[in-house]
Amino acid sequence: MIDNQTLWNIDIGGMPARGPAPPLTGLKDVKPLKDILDLTGKTAIVSGGSKGLGLRIVNRLCESGAAVVIADVDDFFGEKAVEFLSAKGYTARYQKTDLRDLNQIHACVDYTVANLGKVDILVNNAAYYKIVKFSDITEEFWDTSLDISLKGMFFMIQAVAVQMIKQGHGGRIVNISSNAGNSMENFYGWMVPYVASKSGVNGITRSLARELKPHGIHINAVVPGGMMSVGSFNMERTPEIEEVQRANPGAPIGDPDNVARVVCMACTEMSDYMDGSIIHADGGTYLGFTK
């Protein structure tokens, strides 16, 4: 039985390590929040970071002090993004990286280490999605979807995690998933390859959390709700699919920055006790909210 005075001192003064538990930091010594959120000196890679959610994530990571490499295939948007971020005084680079090509994935990691010294953070944001009825899905469309959104994501994690293990001071990996990974919205019936890839993203996140935790690497996933982005804005819909959409209440639509803030959090020490978590930043879509 611990008396109140001792308990109070545990809160204020902390406690030495006991058994497998780490020492408890006393209230008087807790790390200030601004230091926990500070990424000064860290280096990050963000796939698909030239536009949409990816660019918002790059912006927040830079603002928190990280140097960021944008790994994307879009030279125009990639270079414009670097121009914009550099003008704000941030350290951002663009490295052309097609996630379908393992050589380009390795070249991106090598570029980051050669130019910025190391890799501490990876955000797997790039994905390929289109609305296509199941009977119209071609093998080529299937392969492109899975190669970018799932296979490319995995091999980017592999290349970066091997580098992080070599560096010896852990790291953070955040995978961008979707409610499509749970097939939660009515509409996802028309995005089968996307659903398959995002279900895979959730599974890979949980599975790798077990393998990577012993190396001090925290891997988690963020599930965004619907967002206005170049990709979502340009999605083509046939009249039949528009009819399906009209018949089903839509999910909330948000600003990608709302999701980027959560991703940025998961890249900081805020996520020290998170491994294999699937974090929803979706305005309640997972619960069936419609606005």
Amino acid of residue 144? T
Q: Is 194 in the active site?
A: yes
In the complex, least distance from residue 70 CB atom to ligand NAD, rounded to whole angstroms? 9
* CB closer to ligand NAD, 40 vs 138: 138
Among the listed residues 90, 94, 129, 194, the single catalytic one is 194
* CB closer to ligand NAD, 47 vs 205: 47
Residue partners of 47: CB distance under 8 A and separation at least 6: 54, 71, 72, 97, 99, 123, 124, 125, 126, 152, 153, 156
Which strands, in side-by-side order, build the sheet including 121-124?
92-96, 67-72, 43-47, 121-124, 171-176, 217-224, 278-281
Q: Which two tokens stand for residue 225?
A: 């709700």
Diameter of the chain measured on Cα atoms: 71
Integer Cα distance of 41 and 56 in angstroms? 20
| CA 147 to centroid of chain Cα atoms | 18
In the complex, least distance from residue 9 CB atom to ligand NAD, rounded to whole angstroms? 47
Q: Which residues make up the interface to ligand NAD (CB under 6 A)? A: 47-48, 50-54, 72-74, 77, 97-100, 125-129, 148, 176, 178, 224, 226-227, 229-232
DSSP, collapsed to helix, strand or coil, labels residue 85 as helix
* CB closer to ligand NAD, 3 vs 236: 236
In the complex, least distance from residue 129 CB atom to ligand NAD, rounded to whole angstroms? 6
In the complex, least distance from residue 130 CB atom to ligand NAD, rounded to whole angstroms? 10
* CB closer to ligand NAD, 104 vs 167: 104
Annotated catalytic residues are 194
